Amino acid sequence: MVTIALDCMGGDYAPKSVVDGIMKYLESENEEVSFLLTGQEEKIKPCFPHGEVPERVRIIPSPEVFAMDEKPSMILKRPETSLHKAAALVRDKEADALVSAGNTGGLLAAATFLIGRIKGVKRPALITPIPNLHRDVLLLDSGATVECSKEVLIGFSKMSIAFLQVLGAVDYKIGLLNVGTEEDKGTQDLKQANVILKEQLGKNYQGFVEGRDISLGPADVIITDGFSGNIALKTIEGTAKLIMETLKSEIKKGGLRTKLGALLLKPALKALKHRFDPHRVGGAFILGVNAPVVKAHGNSDGYAISNAIRVAIDGVKKQLVKKIALQYAQGEA
């Protein structure tokens, strides 16, 4: 049986959102999965229907909460927080994976220093699916490691290959984000990483890609530092929201013809909204640590948490960590 540890106090709507996510999962799936919830029991129990905790759920009392604005390194000095206790459960092999919608930096620190890095991994990375004109593309790193040397970028490519194996991808393209596609552009680390990746990946390497290629280009994975990746991710999220809100505003201001047109387009508009909804994905893996760790969006609701749980279970069952370790052990990219 797979056991998932959940930081029940992490996120804008916790603990209700986490409990709702578990209940949604239990109602829709038949898989044998158990849950360990860390947090304030007196706040968690009333969130369950009739205050009754399901048989496959156990609450691990954790009196403290690691706030969204706390310094990430402080998590190591806060063993009584729900986030620290959830990570410790994974470290101690009581749980197979960790899910949290809490402080990203705190989760990253807990994953790196409590659960530990895979041998050979220099820096962990967040891998996030992003809607593309053709399919979802994978952005790596989307915010974990702000500054990256060429060695770290090459390491990201190894982790992305393992992730693609989990997805069952055989024919894929990996691109390196830059300010242009010309080989003489970019920092020294980018130029050197480009040369090495071209040699190591061969036909699977797309070369340099630009920001617009995240949404329009042919690459399946886009490698970048966490600073650039997070800006790109948040820009795409903001642009998607701008488009949807502008459409709604224009439809409301329009006349009868506009409203009738919107009615006819309703299925297409609904599909568009769904594609850009971050809750659809559930969460992003922190790659490079010794267990599947999933960072859910801070404003996750029950639907998003249930999807984050599915992501974590998938990582366990498809042996994501083992595949990443194998990439490093073999020295392949």
Provide the phi-psi class of 224: left if phi over 0, else alpha when psi is between -120 and 50, else beta: beta
Kindly report the backbone phi and psi dihedral angles of residue 116, in degrees, each rounded to the nearest multiple of 5, phi listed first. Answer: 95, 155
At 58, give phi and psi (nearest 5°): -130, 135
CATH class label, 1-121+288-333: alpha beta
CATH 3.40.718.10 intervals, the chain:
1-121+288-333, 126-278
Please state, in angstroms and as integers, the Cα–Cα distance from residue 41 to each residue in 16, 44, 47, 247, following that order: 12, 5, 10, 43
Given phi > 0 = left and psi -120 to 50 = alpha, else beta, which region is 259? alpha
Measure CA 246 to chain center: 28
Q: Tell me the backbone φ, ψ of residue 37, rounded to 5 degrees.
A: -105, 125
Distance separating alpha carbons of residues 66 and 81, to the nearest angstrom: 6
pLDDT confidence of residue 333: 37
Residue with tokens 């990996």: 174
Give Cβ neighbours of residue 182 (< 8 Å, ≥ 6 apart): 208
Give the pLDDT score at 331: 62
Superfamily for domain range 126-278: Isopropylmalate Dehydrogenase (3.40.718.10)
The pLDDT of residue 332 is: 47
- pTM for the whole structure: 0.90
Measured distance CA(292)–CA(303) in Å, rounded:
20
What is the model's pLDDT at position 327?
87
Chunked mean pLDDT (size 10), the chain, 333 residues: 96 96 92 94 95 94 95 94 98 98 95 95 93 90 92 94 88 94 92 95 94 92 96 91 89 85 85 78 92 94 95 94 89 49
